[in-house]
Amino acid sequence: MHDIGDLIIYSGHGICRVEDISDKEVNGAVKTYYVLHPIEDNQHQLTINAPAENKNVMMRKLMNKDEAKKILESFQSKGVDWIDNSNSRIKTYNAALNSGDRMEIAKTANTLIRKKHVYQAEGRKFFEQDSKLLTNIQTILFKELSIVLETSTDDIKQEIIRIYFIVHNTRKVKPPDWAALLFWVISIVILSKRAIDR
């Protein structure tokens, strides 16, 4: 059970606040309902009456700080595998988003972010469906991270981008060319010896 004032993730509505808990009679049976308000709805125009015992709808509490930190750290590693077939990719990635598993959602976002940067670097347009999916993940997951870690969504995005570039640039560093380095050292020694002999 959730309490009044709790922040929860509710299905496709993202993060909601439990404004009230009420009992209603439906078809002769009394059922408990949560009165929810999406926190992104600044105009307070949307109110959701969600059955407390609806197993077909995802409703969960926010992660804790330790979980949030592990989610951010996961962006240092590879995400889920990229699927070339667009229909299979969107179906698989949407399933991860709807599963409610934050780590799988983060890994999916990780892959989409990396692929998007590759496309941008090559001057290509990122797929529209993938871009929309990434936006959906950022709206829900990044917002949850920002609330739990007491920061802004923009700060979360910047931190993830910073992690991406650190990892990306580290992997691009090439080992030194020892033959060229040795040639350079020998050349310096020879030139120095000639200068001394003169």
155-198 tens-digit pLDDT: 998 998 888 777 666 554 444 454 555 555 555 555 555 555 65
Residue whose C-alpha is closest to residue 112's, from 87, 155, 77, 80: 80
- Residue pLDDT, tens place only, 149-165: 999 999 998 998 888 77
Low-confidence ranges of the chain (pLDDT < 70): 43-44, 167-198
d(CA 135, CA 143): 11
Which of the 8 DSSP states describes residue 13?
G
Tokens 């040639």 -> residue: 183
d(CA 152, CA 189): 56
pTM: predicted TM-score of the whole model, two decimal places? 0.75
Treating both helix axes as pointing N-terminal to C-terminal, what angle do 102-121 and 153-172 enclose, rounded to 10 degrees?
60
Cross-sheet strand order for the sheet of 59-61: 48-51, 29-38, 14-26, 7-10, 59-61
The pLDDT of residue 40 is 82
The pLDDT of residue 73 is 92
The pLDDT of residue 175 is 46
Domains along the chain with CATH numbers: 7-61 (2.40.10.170), 65-172 (1.20.58.1290)
33-37 LR contacts (CB < 8 Å, sep 24+): 34/2, 34/59, 36/8, 36/10
